[in-house]
Amino acid sequence: MIDLSNETMIHVKKNEVEFLQFRKLLEYPELVHCYTLKANDFDIAGNETYEEKKNIVEDNYTKLASALQIPKETIIRPYQTHTNIVKRIDKKKNEISIFPKEFTNVDGLITNQTGITCSLSFADCTPIYLYDPIKKVIGDIHSGWKGTLTRIGKVAVEGMIQEYECNPKDIICCIGPCIRKCHFEVSKDVADAFQNEFQEMEDMDEIITFLQGKDKYVIDTCKINENMMKEVGLLDENIIDSGICTVCNNGQMHSYRAHKELAGRNTAILGMRK
């Protein structure tokens, strides 16, 4: 096992489960969180039947819940479709399960409820973990390039402010493993879309780089998300980046850019214990 631990992350292996955790979030014992690795799969690609895939995913959730010491029935997972829609979870009103109908086309979850475990799936897209330790509010966000372009991270923070009266200066933002600028190679139309949307950012010349001889561009979406968080009021010291590229580490992480249609999915878990 190659240890992916660094100054912001810890690599954990428990029996049949491997995951990463943020050192910062581990300072709060009320939180449960992780980013799973390739040892487990939460959205199977391949030739298995639907029932076989469902059983594999269910088995992996059972193993993960055991490793994190949480009841499996506390896990809620929306049906993600690269939107910028963020929904509030309320145990009294919402169904807590995998793919509840009311959380279709949802890519972000926020809640102040304990005993709920948010789960989102990833294969290069950016996981954003949000936590306000004062108001006790969490946000679990799936920000692919389309979500980043439509500012889902900002939408989530604004939702925490509006729904729970959070102060953005109290919110901690952790950016998980994802495709980095070294591998996020795009055509001119995508680069132009980012340039137009974020033209007010001072360091756009560093964020988008033209690749000479390839007629392609590379984009630093992590930097865009960091800047977005600062613009909505988060403090520099409360924005923590894992610094890990899923493509560079595709031997240990599911990566769509590396594995194409055969890519499985990692999951980003975030919840508050009762």
DSSP assignment string, 191-248: HHHHHHHTTT-TTHHHHEEEETTTTEEEE-HHHHHHHHHHHTT--GGGEEE---BTTT
At CA 162, angle to CA 145 and CA 174, rounded to 5?
A: 45
Share of the chain above pLDDT 90, in %: 88
The predicted pLDDT at position 92 comes to: 85
Strands 116-122, 137-143: pairing is unpaired
Q: Which two tokens stand for residue 181?
A: 């600028």
pTM: 0.96
Please tell me the predicted confidence (pLDDT) of residue 244: 98
Closest CA to 112 of 161, 175, 168, 67: 161
pLDDT of residue 46: 65
CATH of 9-180+221-272, one of 3.40.50.1000, 3.20.20.70, 3.60.140.10, 3.40.50.2000: 3.60.140.10
- Span 10-27, pLDDT tens digits: 999 998 999 999 999 999
Q: Tell me the domain boundaries of the chain.
A: 9-180+221-272, 185-219
Q: Tell me the per-residue pLDDT of 194-235, one tens digit each, with 9 for 90 and over.
A: 999 999 998 999 999 999 888 999 999 999 999 999 999 999
Counting runs of H as helices and runs of E as strands, what totals does the chain give?
7, 15
Q: How far apart are CA 107 and CA 140, in angstroms?
A: 9
Mean pLDDT of the chain: 95
Q: What is the pLDDT of residue 204?
A: 95
DSSP 3: -
* Helix or strand run (H / E) with residue 188: helix 188-197
Distances (CA, A) of 151 to 36, 40, 198, 232: 25, 29, 10, 11
- Total length of the chain: 274
Q: Is the pLDDT of residue 44 over 80?
A: no
In whole angstroms, give the CA distance from residue 273 to residue 30: 5
Instruction: Give the residues across from 104 on adjacent strands.
Output: 79
Which pLDDT score, from 0 to 100, does residue 54 have?
A: 80
Where on the phi/psi map is residue 237: left (φ > 0), alpha (ψ -120 to 50), or beta? alpha
d(CA 268, CA 143): 12
Taking 70 as the threshold, does the pLDDT of residue 259 lie above it? Answer: yes
